[in-house]
Amino acid sequence: MTVNQGKPHLEFFQIDDDEGWHTPQGYPSGFAQLILASDLDEQNKTGSRTRLMRLAPGTYTTKPFVHDHWEEVFLFEGDLIVGNDENGEGGEQFHARSYACRPPGVLHGPFKSEKGCLMYETHFYSGDE
């Protein structure tokens, strides 16, 4: 049995706009994440993750996402379109200072950004999954 030790204690540190970003598995080029802190264990369904996610202008996904943990998202820069089709058309557009909270098992997306965006996200297991 794996024992979750929790996220590390991190004091304020400068976020580098160039270093540490990578495309998450299952996302197209133009989507990038920077993990700030994490002890998320998807196999054992424990822990949490905090990350920044950015979308380059004009990038989009083509299929909805679903996961078995909670997700909270704060769009604090740019625009995000939710529900576009496989060609990146349609959907509902949101702008900076928008928020979403998604329980486990909820289909969400696909996603697109016309001008690019930056989001702060938390993913976590509550113990009820």
Name the region of 20 (left: φ>0; alpha: ψ -120 to 50; beta: rest).
left
Task: Give residue 127's pLDDT.
Answer: 73
Residues sharing a CB contact under 8 Å with residue 107, sequence separation 6 or more, in sequence order: 64, 65, 66
Q: Residue 3: is its pLDDT beyond 70?
A: no
Sign of CA dihedral 62, 113, 84, 94: positive
Which pTM was predicted?
Answer: 0.91
Q: Say which CATH architecture domain 31-124 belongs to.
A: Sandwich (2.60)
Average pLDDT rounded to a whole number, residues 103-107 = 97
Residue pair 64/107 in contact by the 8 Å Cβ criterion: yes
Average pLDDT rounded to a whole number, residues 100-107 = 97
DSSP E strands in the chain: the ranges are 31-38, 48-55, 70-82, 92-95, 98-102, 111-112, 117-124
Note the pLDDT tens digit of each residue in 19-74.
999 999 989 999 999 999 999 999 999 999 999 999 999 999 999 999 999 999 99
